């Protein structure tokens, strides 16, 4: 899985995932994947701009190609438990 951690210069009208908490989201995924003993099977990788800037922190899970927008650290446990462990993507956060 990839978490956009792109940072643009302050004041850029597009904004960027970094200033919307991308590092906290990625850290939360890494921490929880570790706790769930999924380290080595699933990797929370940093990514450059995923071109969905308006939606807030963007996450994409491969190989199933599920995109999430506006993800916050508070959403991470639901994505891990429902989707990554349980196989059921979290509908309310999906970008289609």
| Contact positions vs a second copy (CB under 8 A) | 2, 5, 43, 45-51, 62-65
Judged by beta carbon, residue 24 or residue 81, the one nearer a second copy is 24
* Residue linked to tokens 């916050």: 72
Judged by beta carbon, residue 92 or residue 96, the one nearer a second copy is 96
* Cα–Cα separations (whole angstroms), residue 12 to 6, 63, 94: 12, 32, 25
Work out how close the CB of 80 gets to a second copy at its nearest, in angstroms, rounded to a whole number: 19
Judged by beta carbon, residue 35 or residue 64, the one nearer a second copy is 64
Work out how close the CB of 48 gets to a second copy at its nearest, in angstroms, rounded to a whole number: 3
| Contact predicate 50/87, CB 8 Å | no
Work out how close the CB of 57 gets to a second copy at its nearest, in angstroms, rounded to a whole number: 15
Work out how close the CB of 90 gets to a second copy at its nearest, in angstroms, rounded to a whole number: 19
Burial 68-80 (b: 16+ CB within 10 A, else e): bbbbebebbeebb
Q: Is 61 helix (H, G, I), strand (E, B) or coil?
A: strand
């Amino acid at each position: 899985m990839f978490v956009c951690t792109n940072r643009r210069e302050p004041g850029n009208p597009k904004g960027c995932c970094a200033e919307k908490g991308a590092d906290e989201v990625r850290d939360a995924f890494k921490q929880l994947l570790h706790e769930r003993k999924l380290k080595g099977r699933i990797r929370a990788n940093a990514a450059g701009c995923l071109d969905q800037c308006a939606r807030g922190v963007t996450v994409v899970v491969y190989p199933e190609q599920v995109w999430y927008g506006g993800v916050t650290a508070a959403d991470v446990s639901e994505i891990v438990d429902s989707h990554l462990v349980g196989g059921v993507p979290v509908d309310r956060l999906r970008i289609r």
